[in-house]
Structures are given as C-alpha cells and as structure tokens.
Amino acid sequence: MSPAMQAAEEHAAPATAAGVRLQQMRRRVRLGRWGVWAAVAAGPIALAVAVATPATVVRVAPATKPATVKTTAGANPSGYATVFLGAWLRSHAGAESTAQSRLAQSMAPDVDLPGTADAQPEPESVVAVRSVQQTGTAWSVTVAAQYADGSVRYFAVPVVADAGGTSFTVSGAPGVVAGPAHAAGVTSPYTVTVPTDSEVSSAAGEFLAAYLAGAGEVDRYLAPGVRLSPVSPAPYRTVTVQQMLAADQEAAAESVPAEGTRVRVMAEVEARDSSGRWPLAYELTLKVRSGRWEVASLESGTAQAEGARS
C-alpha cells in the first residue's frame, strides 16, 4: 500500500462514527422521500399528512368494551298499598264477586275481607302518608282514608317486594294506627315586610298575573336563561298581591338596588275565578337587571334556571 493510501485511511478512521450517523440520516431522508412520493400517488390529503407527520410507528390499542351498568328499578310500594286499601275498605265478606273484592283479594290473597254491612260508609279518598322500609323487601305503608263527614282513619299496610323491587304483595291484614303527629312550626325566613306598592311587589304581582291569569306574556318578567311556562288554561281571572314578605332587606329598599342584586320573597296573593276567591302563596327569587326586577326562579320546581332562555 502506498504511503498516500495509508495516510488517507489513517485520516478517515476517526470519522467512522460520524460517517455512520451521516449514513443513517441519509437513509431516513430517502425513506421520507419515498413516503412523500407514495402519498402523492395516494392523493393530496395523504400528501399533506405525510409532509406534516414525522415517521413514527403507532400501535392501535384494542377497543375497550363499554362498561355494563346494572340498575334496579325498585319502587316505593306506597301506591300499591293505597290501591289495595281503597279496594279492601270498599269490599266485604259475602260479596266476593264484586270488582272491589276481587281486586283486594288479588293483591292480598291471604287477607280476609271485612265483614261489614252494605250500608257501611266508604271512604271518599285514600292517600299514602308514610312508608318505612323495615328490611330489604318488607315495607310498612301508612295510608289515610278520608270519609264524607270529614273524619280520617289511618291504616298500616304491610307490603313485601320481590328482590328487584318491581313486584309487590300485601303480606297481612291492615292495622288501624294513630295518625302522624303534627310537626312543630318552623321559623319562616321571610321576616321583612315589603310594601305592596314597591317595585318588588309590582314585578312579582305582574308576573303571577301573567302566570296564573294569562295577563300578558310570562317571558317578559323572567331573567335571561330562565324557562317557565304559564298555567294553561289560565285558571283565574285576576291575581292581586295581598302581602309581600322577603328574606332579604334589599327587597324593601325604596329604589332598585345595584345590578345583580338577588332577593327571596313570599308573595301572598288573592286569585279570583267564577266560583270565588283563592288565597295562594308563591316563593320567588328576583334579580335586578338593567334597573328592574326580574324573576330568577319560582320555588315550585317548574322554573329552570339560567342558561335555557335566549
């Protein structure tokens, strides 16, 4: 080997690692060019993806199965107990073929019918007032029976449900029990008296007149984002505010407070129809916007709050 060739090899030896990296880079460039030309052949969209996306390997994860949610459509048996007691009180032994007797026996096969005379007064209404789940499937439902003379009698009806809470049966005869005790009165939060000629009273009164008597459009009294449909057909001819109480002192201010101020009020109104007068009460939340009070909520659950009305 000539001295010149030996010198060339000695000069090239230290650059071997750099040369390898250079070759790898050139190989990537060639692969990238081939990918671009393949994308050109596939179409302009593929070309854009090939140019914008680096050469990476993507592994697609297997699709996960949707989670299975098990629900139990269990139900409180109050309605079942109410239907049974109404049929049981309207049936009697010796008349098992009547519709009420057959219904009572189908709901409680092991319960005897009352042995009453045909002249026994029947209840005018039967309503469940309390239900207690004693175990996982056993319930006790207190049902009130109201009679024409104004008297009320309370019955405890035992009911058993199936494991899913969708089927019921009366498991024993009803028992007469004392009625629920009267709860002590709660302290009202509405302690501020608001003049009936105030801005708050006017706004609430006009809204309720539209809501109950069809006096104008309800929407004009609602804050933005509140949805509320009027009672239809309108049950009353007129609605008049008799007393306005508030939970917030700002409601009694002589002038409209600052923008965004909210107050809770209790509007006691007199509604009139063709048969007479009806004293009614409504809890409202009002909010100041652009110098006027607007209804932000009606505490009956029928008004849906902000974000719905445009």
Q: What is the DSSP string of 183-244?
A: PPPPPPS--EEE-TTSHHHHHHHHHHHHHHH--S-GGGGBPTT-B-PPPSS---SEEEEEEE
**214-258 tens-digit pLDDT:** 999 999 999 999 999 999 999 999 999 999 999 999 999 989 999
Q: Is residue 132 part of a domain?
A: yes
Residues 196 and 162 in one domain: no
Rg, C-alpha atoms of the chain: 39
Residues 198 and 164 in one domain: no
pLDDT value of residue 305: 43
Contact 277, 268 (CB under 8 A): no
pLDDT value of residue 108: 94
Helix ranges (H only) for the chain are 3-12, 16-42, 44-52, 78-89, 99-107, 199-213
Phi, psi of 217 (to 5 degrees): -85, 135
Residues 284 and 198 in one domain: yes
Q: Is residue 73 part of a domain?
A: no
Residues 116 and 171 in one domain: yes
pLDDT value of residue 120: 74
Number of domains in the chain: 3
Rounded CA-CA distance 224/295 in Å is: 9
Q: Is residue 122 part of a domain?
A: yes
Which portions of the chain are predicted below pLDDT 50? 4, 7-9, 11-18, 20, 29, 36, 39-40, 44-61, 63-73, 301-310
Q: Is residue 112 part of a domain?
A: yes
- Predicted model pTM: 0.61
pLDDT value of residue 214: 95
Residues 215 and 244 in one domain: yes
Residues 173 and 198 in one domain: no
Q: What is the CATH number of the domain that holds 246?
A: 3.10.450.540
pLDDT value of residue 307: 35
Q: Is residue 63 part of a domain?
A: no
- The one-letter code for the residue type at 143 is V
Residue 28 DSSP SS3: helix
**Range(s) of the domain holding residue 266:** 192-298
Q: Is residue 66 part of a domain?
A: no
Contact 230, 216 (CB under 8 A): no
